[in-house]
């Protein structure tokens, strides 16, 4: 199984900050990586697919990059609505696997 | 608009069974893969199973293979997940979502509690 490791696990930030979350895969996944945002009590919502493609209606302050085993999610200017938990997911092979999550909080 | 609605969750004793349903609307069900993802209380996301282009191949996580079975009723636009021999560790909110790779959109989830 491909193990996904996110860092940090928790991130304290303020509105307007530039935020970067890293996701590392235990082996190469090419660019088969997605990022999700989840708020408490809600289902996840896709932000980015295939490493760098924005999901539908996702604000342009979100961006993704990387290839192989190292990936990043960047929020260029953190907004109040962005305080949430973020997960990366590989879909290069089965079983699909998620990172453990990064909580972005004040 | 694509929508997915899960149902069938509840409280069950260890060793018991439940059948979850995921009813979809807004797209041609048979042409899409559908995936189940679960989230234990206070924990992260865990992929459970995917049925590719509903009715074709099913993939399962090791933790549920042999106990969970996904099936589809294309006439009802519904995917089912039969869960047998349930364990306390299966306690989670179960989400269905479209796609065999990245997943979007997602249903609201249904809670399965396995407890004596």
| pLDDT at site B54 | 60
Chain A residues whose C-beta sits inside 8 Å of any chain B C-beta = 32, 34, 36, 38, 43-46, 49-50, 55-56, 87, 89, 91, 94-101
Q: Which two tokens stand for residue A7?
A: 């860092």
Element (H, E) at A89: strand A85-90
Residues of B39-58 as b/e, b for ≥16 C-beta within 10 angstroms? beeeeebbbbbbbeebeeeb
B111 to chain A: nearest residue by CA? A41
| pLDDT at site A16 | 96
> Are the C-beta atoms of A4 and A90 separated by less than 8 Å?
yes
Per-residue pLDDT, averaged over B85-90, amounts to: 98
Contacts 24+ apart (CB under 8 A), B3-8: B3/B105, B3/B107, B4/B96, B4/B97, B4/B98, B4/B105, B4/B106, B4/B107, B5/B107, B5/B108, B6/B94, B6/B95, B6/B96, B6/B107, B6/B108, B6/B109, B6/B110, B7/B110, B8/B110
> Are the C-beta atoms of A92 and A30 separated by less than 8 Å?
yes
Which residues of B fall within a CB distance of 8 Å from A98? 44-47
Q: What is the pLDDT along chain A (106 residues), one digit of tens a residue?
A: 999 999 999 999 999 999 999 999 999 999 999 999 999 999 999 999 999 999 999 999 999 999 999 999 999 999 999 999 999 999 999 999 999 999 999 8
- Structure-token match 């899409």, residue found: B32
> Are the C-beta atoms of A101 and A8 separated by less than 8 Å?
no
* Bridge-based pairing state of the strands A10-12 and A97-98: unpaired
Chain B residues whose C-beta sits inside 8 Å of any chain A C-beta = 35, 37, 44-47, 50, 59, 61-62, 95, 97, 100-109
């Amino acid at each position: 199984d491909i193990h996904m490791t996110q860092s940090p696990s928790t991130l304290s930030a303020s509105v307007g900050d530039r935020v970067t979350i890293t996701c590392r895969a235990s082996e190469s996944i090419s660019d088969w990586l997605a990022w999700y945002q989840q708020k408490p009590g809600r289902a996840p919502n896709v932000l980015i697919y295939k490493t760098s493609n924005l999901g539908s209606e996702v604000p342009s302050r979100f961006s993704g990059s990387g290839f192989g085993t190292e990936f990043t999610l960047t929020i260029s200017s953190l907004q109040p609505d962005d305080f949430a938990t973020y997960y990366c997911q590989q879909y290069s092979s089965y079983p699909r696997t998620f990172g453990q999550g990064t909580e972005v909080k004040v | 608009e694509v929508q997915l609605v899960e149902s069938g969750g509840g409280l069950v004793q260890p060793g018991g069974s439940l059948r979850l349903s995921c009813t979809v609307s807004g797209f041609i069900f048979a042409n899409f893969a559908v995936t189940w993802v679960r989230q234990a209380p206070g924990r992260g996301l865990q992929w459970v199973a995917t049925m590719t282009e509903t009715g074709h191949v099913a993939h399962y996580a090791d933790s549920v293979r042999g106990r969970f079975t996904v099936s589809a009723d294309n006439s009802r636009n519904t995917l089912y997940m039969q869960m047998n021999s349930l364990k306390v560790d299966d306690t989670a909110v179960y989400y269905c979502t479209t796609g065999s790779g990245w997943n979007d959109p997602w249903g609201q989830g249904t809670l399965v509690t396995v407890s004596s």
